[in-house]
Each structure stands twice: as structure tokens, then as C-alpha cells.
Amino acid sequence: MSTTPATHRAPAPPLPPGAPIRPGAVPQTFQNPTRVITGEGCAAEVGPHAAKLGATKVMVVSDPGVVRAGIPTSVIESLHAAGIETLLYSEVEPDPRIELVEATLAAYKAFGGQLIVAVGGGSAIDVATATAILATNPGPLRSYEGWEKFPNSPDPLFALPTTVGTAAEVTPFVVITDAAAKFKFTIGSPKAAPMIAFLDPMLVLGLPASVTAATAMDALTHAIESYTSLLSTPISEGLALQAIRMISANIRIAVANPNNLAAMNALLIGANIAGLAFSNTRLGNVHATAHPLGAFWKIPHGVANALMLPHVMEFNALACPLRMIDIAQAMGESVAGMSMAGTTEHDAALRAVQAVRRLEADIGIPARLRDLGVDKASIPDMAADAMKSANIAINPRKTTINEIISLYESAW
Ligand SMILES: [Fe+2]
């Protein structure tokens, strides 16, 4: 096992310039407040759990595509069977804006809801979480940007993911777009993590290949960035490696056949495990550079991550070659005998980058930013926004704005 240095959980104390960081030198925390229920058909457990909380009015938050596919039906039926009144709110859009959260809150208040159940991808769960926060805190939402900025516990929230990526069902972070500022901001607090996550593979069966590919690449990026984060701990490392194994072993199969229950279940659980890891370590330069691609060019989050991932891994390999070798091995690469063959540790580390590039080609991820309509002239502005991300400081290789510009240019 490699020995990337670790500091403690966010917010990390400032270190004097040049100070050595030793694993275990500062207190480290591992916390995951969400109860996780897994298994085929577990969505039917939502009603009994809501009844146990004493809820009589529950708002189900989803998006139009998920509702058209009939996915929330099993959840709503289980709530009705428990004698609970429901309101289905299905206005969620990708890259949700502050205004959408405010509209959701108005519907929730008018209904008199006591519990929110999110059925959807990261956007639906983020909107539901932000709504639950504003139900008990005066706002405005943007004033809660950062870590532990809102005072009151949100209304209770259950989450059922219908994609295999964000792990929003278990993370303490919410990402909302400030459209006026063209900026995605993050609200984080252990209180923001959903109360219960239900991972029902029946809800992701038949997912379109492009959605599986993009969201599973988001999950793989979470696991890889968590494993190389300067905040990683022995606990998070075990979770991150297991997530890399499960996701990389099943992603091709699930893209090829979305009705393969075992593969979809493995991706759903792998993504969740990656979420448990990165909730405690944050991420790195991939997510820092991916968020501006979403805010400026509406590139789906998973695709933006997938595009930046090999470039950032190549950049980071210099800083943490042993970690990269671990990642290569977790992805099924063999690095045995590479030193005897006269290659360097760095060459072995780059096997992880090659594995990611091959995987992305196999599952149809676009290779270049220019193919997605990104104007090269926007790179300096995106780089300036990327530098505002708290993920830059915990990336394993120290990064300047010029290096962020170079990363965007190589991906372009
Ligand atoms: Fe992500």
C-alpha cells in the first residue's frame, strides 16, 4: 500500500509553508450519517420507513424523464399503502438553479409536507436536499455556500438514486447553479446528508447506455480522486479501492446490456461506496475543472469528469505514482515485472491513465472538449472559476492557474 500524506477533514487547518505532513499527524474524522438499504425491490420499504417517522404528507421530488418511465410508481404505491398522502413534484431539471429550489420549496410548503423523498439522479436529490434545508433555514440559499453554514437540521429526506453516479443519496454536499453568476456552488454539512438511501437496482434497470456511461464515469472519478486526495484516510482508501474495482469491472457490461441486473446493482453500490469515500476526503482537480464545464457549456457532469480525468491523472502521476499503481491494479491492469523490464515507477503509474482512456473509448465517451462545442476562448474564465474550488487545495499535486489552463487545453 502506498503512503500518500494525509491531513484531516475539511476544513483543514492551514499548514506553515513547507511543513511536512505525516499520516496520522493530525486528527482525522470519518463520518457517514446516512442509513443505506440495498437490494432488489427495496423501494417498497419507503412507505413503512416514512410511517415510522410519523409522516402523513410526503413530497416525492423527481424529474420529468424519470416520471415518464414510471420509476417513482413503486415508491408512491408503498407510501399510499402506509396511509400517507403524496405530492409528486417533477419539475427538476439538469444543473438545477436556485430559482428551481425556491419553486420546489413553495410547492412543499403549500402542500404541508413533512418529509421529502427524492427519486432521481443527482439533480433531483440535490434539489430535494436544498429544499429540505430551506424548509427549516431562512436562506438565501447561496448564503449557505461552504461547510456547515446553515444552522438548523433540514426536514427529513429519503433518497433513491435512478442513475449510477453522483452518490448524492449518501453525500453531505449539494451542488446548485447560480445562473446569474454562471457558477455552481456547493453547500456541505453532515446535516445535509439524506436520512436513508434506498439502493434498488430495479430503479436503474434499462438505463440508456449514454447515461450509464456518464454517471458511472462520475462515480469512478469520485473513487479515483478520493483515493489520491490529500485528505484520504485508511478508512476512505479501502472504500475508494473497492469502488474502483466494482465500477471498472461492471461498467462495460452495464453499458452493453442495461438489463443485466447484477452489473447494474454492482454499479449502483460501487457508486455509493465511492460517495462514502469522497464525502470524507473531497475530490481534486477533475471535479474542480468539470464544474465550470457544466456551468459555462452545460456539459453533463459525468461527461465533463470523464473528459478531464485522464489529463488530470497524467498530471498527478508525478506526485503519487504508488497511488496510481494501486488504481491501475484495481482496474485489472498488471504491473508485475515492470521494474525488471527497465521501466520506472512513473511508467507503471501511467498504466492507470491508459486503463481509463481504454475504458472511455469502449463506452463511447467523447474524447475532446472541442467536439462538445466548447469555445477555446472560454478556457481562462473557466480556469479562474476552477481555482475557486476547494478541491484544488487537496489535489495531490500542487496546482497553479496556468496548469489548470494547460489541463483544459490538453482536453480541448
Ligand atoms: Fe461528481
CA of 111 to the centre of ligand 1 (A): 32
How far, in Å, is the centroid of ligand 1 from the Cα of 24?
27
- How far apart (Å, rounded) are the C-alpha atoms in residues 70 and 253? 24
According to the model, what pLDDT value does residue 342 have?
Answer: 60
- The CA 301 to ligand 1 mean position distance, Å, reads 7
Q: What pLDDT, on the 0 to 100 scale, is given for residue 1?
A: 37
* Distance between Cα 302 and ligand 1 center (Å): 7
Residue 242: C-alpha distances to residues 227, 302, 353 (Å): 10, 20, 18
Distance 290 CA to ligand 1 centre (A): 9
pLDDT of residue 329: 95
Å from CA of 202 to ligand 1 middle? 23
95 alpha carbon to ligand 1 midpoint, in Å? 12
Identify the residue with better confidence: 240 or 390: 240
Annotated domain spans of the chain:
35-203, 209-411
| Domain at 209-411: CATH code | 1.20.1090.10
Residue 159 Cα to ligand 1 middle (Å) = 17
Query: What band does 345 get if pLDDT is binned at 50, 70 and 90?
Result: confident
Residues composing the chain: 412
Q: Residue 66 C-alpha to ligand 1 middle, in angstroms?
A: 20
CA of 85 to the centre of ligand 1 (A): 33
- Give residue 350's pLDDT: 92
Centre of ligand 1 to C-alpha 160, Å, is: 17
Consecutive H or E run containing 91? none
Of the candidates 75, 80, 81, the one whose C-alpha atom is nearest the C-alpha of residue 41 is: 75
Q: What is the pLDDT of residue 127?
A: 97
Q: How far apart are the C-alpha atoms of 305 and 298, rounded to whole Å?
A: 13
DSSP assignment string, 172-219: SEEEEEETTTTEEEEEE-GGGS-SEEEE-GGGTTT--HHHHHHHHHHH
- Reported as a pLDDT band with limits 50, 70 and 90, residue 12 is very low
The CA distance from 257 to 209, in Å, is 8
> What span, in angstroms and rounded, lies between the C-alpha atoms of 252 and 248?
8
Residue 3 pLDDT > 60, yes or no? Answer: no
Q: In sequence order, which residues have a C-beta less than 8 Å from that of residue 175 and are 6 or more positions away?
A: 122, 126, 184, 185, 186, 291
What are the pLDDT digits (tens) for 92-132? 998 899 999 999 999 999 999 999 999 999 999 999 999 99
Main-chain dihedrals φ then ψ at residue 85, nearest 5 degrees = -80, 140
User: At 162, is the secondary structure helix, strand, or coil?
Assistant: coil
**What pLDDT sits at residue 311?**
97
Q: How far is the CA of 51 from the centre of ligand 1 (A)?
A: 32
What is the CA(395)–ligand 1 centre distance, in A? 15
Quick one: which of 224, 279, 241 has its CA closest to 34? 279
Rounded Cα distance, 14 and 29, in Å:
17
What pLDDT score does 344 carry? 82
Return the CATH number of 35-203, one of 3.40.50.2300, 3.40.50.300, 3.40.50.1970, 3.90.550.10. 3.40.50.1970
CA 285 – ligand 1 centroid, Å: 12
Q: Which three cell numbers stand for residue 236?
A: 476512505
Q: What is the rounded average pLDDT of the residues 219-226? A: 97
For the chain, the first-to-last Cα distance in angstroms comes to: 34
Q: What SS3 class is residue 280? A: helix
User: DSSP per residue over 343-356, as a string?
Assistant: --HHHHHHHHHHHH
- Provide DSSP, 210-259: HHHHHHHHHHHHHHHHHHHSTT--HHHHHHHHHHHHHHHHHHHHHHH-TT
Pairing state of beta strands 173-178 and 183-188? antiparallel
How many angstroms separate the CA atoms of 295 and 300, rounded?
10
- pLDDT, one tens digit per residue, over 350-381 is 999 999 999 999 999 998 999 999 999 999 99
Where residue 339 falls among pLDDT bands split at 50, 70, 90? low
In this structure, what DSSP letter does residue 97 have? Answer: B
Share of the chain above pLDDT 90, in %: 82
Distance CA 236, CA 40 (A): 27
- Retrieve residue 352's grid coordinates: 492507470
Mean pLDDT value of segment 28-37: 90
pLDDT digits (tens, 9 = 90+) for 38-86: 999 999 999 999 999 999 999 999 999 999 999 999 999 999 999 999 9
Backbone dihedral region for residue 226 (phi beyond 0: left; psi -120 to 50: alpha; all else: beta):
alpha
User: Can you give the pLDDT at residue 29?
Assistant: 82
